[in-house]
Amino acid sequence: ERTKMQIKRDLSMTRMIDLEEENPVEDDFWKELVQECLDPSSAFSREDELKGKLGELRNNWTLVIAVSNTIWLVLLATMATQANLAVYSSNPL
């Protein structure tokens, strides 16, 4: 609580300036930046495109995982049929 009061006091003693009057170039820069990056219509207009790409990415990785699991199962089934499994001239089982 003491820190809040101290911060309020420090802020009240700080000189505030109007950026539009003091530095119009910087003011224009910030206004353009906010308009381009934070304007909801422009920031979220690519939402459908991103949803499509994320869906495609999910499907591709699902396929990769499915193929990897299939290869793993085939490898395990093949190894299970071998009575004498030899790895570097020794039987790990």
The C-alpha torsion from 22 through 26 and 28 to 31, rounded to 10°, is: -110
pTM, 2 dp: 0.46
Asked if 37 contacts 43 with a C-beta cutoff of 8 angstroms, the reply is yes
Q: How confident is the model at residue 93 (pLDDT cuts 50, 70, 90)?
A: low
Task: Give tens-digit pLDDT for 26-55.
Answer: 999 999 988 887 776 655 667 788 889 999
Q: Is the pLDDT of residue 87 over 80?
A: no
State percent of the chain over pLDDT 70: 86
DSSP E strands, the chain: none
**What length is written for the chain?**
93
Averaged pLDDT, 57-76: 96
